[in-house]
A and B are shown apart, each in its own frame.
Chain A
Amino acid sequence: MTTNGYVGLILVSHSQRIAEGLAELVAQVAGPDVPIEAIGGGPEGTLGTDGGRVHDALRRGATGAGSVVLMDLGSSVLAVRASLAELDATERAALHVADAPLVEGAVAAGVSASMGSDAATVAQAAEEARGIAKL
C-alpha cells in the first residue's frame, strides 16, 4: 500500500462504516496521495475487531515509507498490539502507532503525510491532536 513514497494510514475501528467514512473524510482534506486502509468490524461483519484483518493490514503497511496506525477503542488497540508482537523488527520499525483521538488524529496525520513527512512526524501530528481545543 505504501509504494508511492507517502506514509500510509491504517485506521482500525470497531465499525467498518466508521473506518470507511473516516478514510473518505481524510482523503478529502489531505488529497489523493496518502494511502489509507480502513479496517473495521468483526469477522462476521458485526461491530468488533478482526485480528486477522488488522494483522494483514499492518503487514501490508510495513512496506515502502511505512504507516501510521490509529485505533478507536479497547480491543482495536489490543489487536494492533497483538499484531505488532508477531511482526519482525523491520516491519515494526516501519509502523508508528499513534496514541491519538481517531478522527482528529487521522485528519492531522493525513495532512502531514500528504506533505511527504516521515512516519514519525506523521504520528506526532496525530498525537498533537490531543491538545487542540474544539471550542
Chain B
Amino acid sequence: MGSPSSEIAAEASVALPPDVALHARPAGAFVREAAQFAASIVVTANGRGANAKSILEVLALGATGGTTLELTASGGDAAEAVERLAEVVAQLG
C-alpha cells in the first residue's frame, strides 16, 4: 500500500523450447508482446540482462534453444507481464 509502482515486482523462469533460439522471428514476437505492458521488464540469459522491449538487446543475449530465461518486472502490470511472457516463450516455435 502506497508503494511506488516501480517496487511492485514479479519474476519467473522459463526455458526456451529445445529447438528455438531467441533470434529473428521468435525474438520479434517476444519483444512485441513485452511492449504491450507498461511494466519495466528485464530478461536475463546466461548471466546477461536485456530490456525485454528492445529487440537489439534481446538479440544480443544470444539465447539458444533450451536456455533458461529469467524474467523480472516492476510496475503496475508486472505480474501479468511476466505470466504472459513466460507463456509466449514456452510456445515459441
Contact = CB atoms under 8 A, between A and B. Distances in A.
B28 to A, nearest CB: 4
B15 interface: no
A127 B48 CA distance: 23
Contact of B60 (A25, A29, A111, A132): A132
- For the complex, would chain A's binding face be called helix, strand, loop or mixed by DSSP majority? helix
Nearest to A30: B28
Interface in B17-74: 24-25, 27-28, 31-32, 35, 54-57, 59-60
- For the complex, would chain B's binding face be called helix, strand, loop or mixed by DSSP majority? helix
A85 interface: no
B35 A115 contact: yes
B24 A111 contact: no
Interface of B: 24-25, 27-28, 31-32, 35, 54-57, 59-60
